[in-house]
């Protein structure tokens, strides 16, 4: 059995979302749902994926999933992540420190902050509930 490390994910790697297969393919196992300590903010990068940053002030608890990832597969997972995301240390609400997917500050510039939703999943659910404006064709 290979050694594993805990990885906190906050976006498209989460269960049921677009890139979750990147975890499953390398044999990662879901551990638990939790939140970070209230020291993070969240941005939507073109409504395709989130970027979470640790901040000195004004942070909140962000919903994450913790996964047990085979140690030798961490680089594989990171290389499949969108540009501007990286691995860093994340402090969870219970004080445990694990590796986690974070955003680079420059990637959040000119992007929509979505911290008030507290999670990527909640934010994308609001997108699907947004009313669409019918297009009108004038002849």
Please report, in tens digits, the pLDDT of each residue of the chain (139 residues total).
579 999 999 999 999 999 999 999 999 999 999 999 999 999 999 999 999 999 999 999 999 999 999 999 999 999 999 999 999 999 999 999 999 999 999 999 999 999 999 999 999 999 887 555 444 545 5
Q: Is 85 helix (H, G, I), strand (E, B) or coil?
A: strand
Nearest to 37 by CA among 25, 55, 49: 55
Phi–psi pair at 73, nearest 5 degrees: -100, -5
Q: How many CB atoms are located within 10 Å of the residue 91 CB?
A: 17
pLDDT at position 135 is 45
pLDDT at position 138 is 55
pLDDT at position 125 is 92
Domain extents for the chain? 4-128
Domain 4-128 has CATH 3.40.50.2000: no
CA atoms within 13 A on the CB side of 48: 10
* pTM of the complete model beyond 0.85: yes
pLDDT at position 43 is 97
pLDDT at position 131 is 56
């Amino acid at each position: 059995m290979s050694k594993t490390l805990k990885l906190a994910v906050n976006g498209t790697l989460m269960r049921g979302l677009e890139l979750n297969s990147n975890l499953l393919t390398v044999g990662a196992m879901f551990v638990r749902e939790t939140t970070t300590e209230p020291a993070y903010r969240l941005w939507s990068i073109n409504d395709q994926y989130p970027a979470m940053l640790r901040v000195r002030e004004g942070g909140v608890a962000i919903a994450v999933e913790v996964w047990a990832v085979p140690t030798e597969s961490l680089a594989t997972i990171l290389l499949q992540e969108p540009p501007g995301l990286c691995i860093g240390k994340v402090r969870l609400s219970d004080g445990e420190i694990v590796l986690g997917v974070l955003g680079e500050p420059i990637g959040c510039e000119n992007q929509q902050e979505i911290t008030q939703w507290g999670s990527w999943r909640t934010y994308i659910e609001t997108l699907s509930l947004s009313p669409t404006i019918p297009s009108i064709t004038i002849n």
